[in-house]
Amino acid sequence: MSQTMITLKKGEGRTIKAGGMWIFDNEIDTIVGSFKNGDVVTVRDFDGYPMGKGFINQNSKIRVRMLTRKADVEIDEAFLTMRVRNAWEYRKTTVDTSSCRVIFGEADFLPGLVVDKYEDVLVVECLALGMEQFKLTIVDILKKLLKEDGIVVRGVYERSDANERIKEGLPKVKDFIGEPFETNVEIVENGVHYMVDVANGQKTGFFLDQKYNRLAMQRICKGKKVLDCFTHMGTFALNAGIAGAGDVTGLDISEFAVQQATDNAKRNGLDSTVHFRCANVLDELPKLFEAGEKYDVVILDPPAFTKSREATKNAIKGYREINMKGLKLVKDGGYLASCSCSHFMTQELLEKTIKEAAKAVHKRLRQVEFRTQAPDHPILWNNAAGTEESYYLKFFIFQVVDEK
């Protein structure tokens, strides 16, 4: 049993009681017992009712990240094996596991830890102090479980180089776990081949969360003229190309990303129909409009315009602007895909912003479908409205019709 006891204030702990995973600093009444940051502690309600166990960090406003709702469970290798096995069995049931997110932090009840699988390579991101003590054990457990299914892990790379580490009192880490290996990994997703650089690519090397949104665009893009904005490695553009789009242009401000995308087009034999160029999307779209360009399909997949609640107001302006500019380039009867990967840009806010953009440029929108992140990035529901920490990706597909 944990020797340190956290007692919540009366009336606090609403998020935990609603299904969440975090206890904030202002919700705690007393801490009894000695501990160091990162230790596992027991949590109880103001009246002594046991709430479970989690790890504590006084460097963070998220004071306790919960590991279990059962206060009498030991956080040992058997417990971690159960958590990792459940995560892997879930992926085998719900997604193509050749490349997928195997562990998604709080949504897999392993807070602060992400593990992505790219064919026979694992990439680990640890963002919480308390998870550091379990990280290597979890990697070993996962390798054993994968081997049971005939998957031999060639190498493990750690990409714990996000700024959140500093807030937790941790140094940034970017290095091999175990023996070095070739970090360029070829993967196949939706029939498209990519070369993923797990050491130098964004995040863990590739954005797996849009897998099935990219697939959904394939049927819409066949035979079409397509513009893919913020293309990064060319993912939406290449899905359009492999589906039989007639002409595809991808735009990105990063020369490195454009080179990667161009290489991927060649890798898939699509370099005659799918082209990329380096450009600031916000500047380029008005130039295309002035030049009289029109597209059957415009895809807007911008980076998160906000990573904090305080910056949401400015982010709304950014999303409104990019959607107005994108809508002007869609042919009458064509299609717009528009998304946000910001947790703080809620579904309701994004809907409102796109409606305002359509009204401003005199377009009518007919919703084809609404989608979220792929199932290997599961959304852990929390009955306290608006606090699902794991829900961040919103993806709309519309048909665009001129007002007449």
Q: Which helix (H) or strand (E) holds 351?
A: helix 347-360
Question: What pLDDT score was predicted for residue 236?
Answer: 98
Confidence bin at 2 (pLDDT 50/70/90): low
Residue 95 maps to which CATH number?
A: 3.30.750.80
Tell me which of 68, 100, 119 is where a domain ends: 68
Residues 171 and 257 in one domain: no
Whether 193 is in a domain gets the answer no
Q: What is the mean pLDDT of residues 166-176?
A: 94
The Cα–Cα gap between 257 and 262 comes to 9
- The total of structural domains in the chain comes to 3
**Catalytic sites, residue numbers:** 341
pLDDT in tens, 195-251: 999 999 888 999 999 999 999 999 999 999 999 999 999 999 999 999 999 999 999
Same domain, 17 and 122: no
Q: Are residues 176 and 225 in the same domain?
A: no
* Domain match, 171 and 85 both: yes
Q: Which residues of 156-184 are buried (b: 16+ CB within 10 A; e: fewer)?
A: bbbbbeeebbeebebeebeeebeeeeebe
d(CA 119, CA 401): 42
- Please tell me whether residues 348 and 236 are part of one structural domain: yes
User: Is residue 110 located within the same domain as residue 212?
Assistant: no
CA angle 390, 393, 397 (to 5 degrees): 150
CA 138 to chain centroid: 21
For residue range 33-64, what is the model confidence (pLDDT) as tens digits? 999 999 999 999 999 999 999 999 999 999 99
Looking at the fold, whether 43 and 89 belong to one and the same domain comes out as no
Q: Is 375 found in the same domain as 358? A: yes
| Cα–Cα–Cα angle for 80, 83, 85, rounded to 5 degrees | 105
Q: What is the pLDDT of residue 309?
A: 67
| CATH code of the domain covering residue 63 | 2.30.130.10
Q: What is the pLDDT of residues 251-300, one digit of tens each?
A: 999 999 999 999 999 999 999 999 999 999 999 999 999 999 999 999 99
Return the SS3 of 306: coil
Tell me the pTM: 0.94
Whether residue 1 is predicted with pLDDT greater than 50 in this model: the reply is no
Is pLDDT at 186 greater than 90 in this prediction?
A: yes
Residues 31-34: contacts with CB under 8 Å, at least 24 apart: 31/4, 31/5, 31/6, 31/7, 31/56, 32/4, 32/5, 32/7, 33/3, 33/4, 33/5, 34/3, 34/4
Determine, yes or no, domain membership for 194.
Answer: no
Q: Which helix (H) or strand (E) holds 221?
A: helix 211-221
Are 270 and 334 part of one and the same domain?
yes
Query: End of a domain among 15, 43, 68?
Result: 68
Position 327 pLDDT exceeds 60 = yes
Any domain includes 190: no
Q: Is the pLDDT of residue 154 over 50?
A: yes
Give the tens place of pLDDT for each residue, 111-126. 999 999 999 999 999 9
pLDDT of residue 118: 98
The per-residue pLDDT for range 391-403, each reduced to its tens digit, is 999 999 999 998 7
- Beta sheet of 22-24, edge-to-edge order: 22-24, 62-68, 50-56, 40-44, 5-8, 28-32
> What are 201's two structure tokens?
């690519």
Which pLDDT does position 18 carry in this prediction? 84
CATH number for the domain that contains residue 251: 3.40.50.150
Q: Are residues 243 and 151 in the same domain?
A: no
What CA–CA distance (Å, rounded) separates 145 from 172?
28
Q: Confirm whether 189 is domain-assigned.
A: no
Question: Within a domain: residue 102?
Answer: yes
Instruction: Give 358-376 pLDDT, tens digit per residue.
Output: 999 999 999 999 999 999 9
Give me the torsion for CA of 371, 336, 96, 164, rounded to 10°.
-70
Is residue 197 in a domain? Answer: no
Round the average pLDDT of the chain to a whole number and report it. 94
Range of the domain at 36: 5-68
* Domain membership flag for residue 372: yes
**Last residue within a domain, chosen from 149, 183, 217:** 183
Q: Are 220 and 359 contained in the same domain?
A: yes
For residue 9, the model assigns a pLDDT of 95
Tell me, yes or no, whether 168 lies in a domain: yes
Same-domain pairing of 223 and 109? no
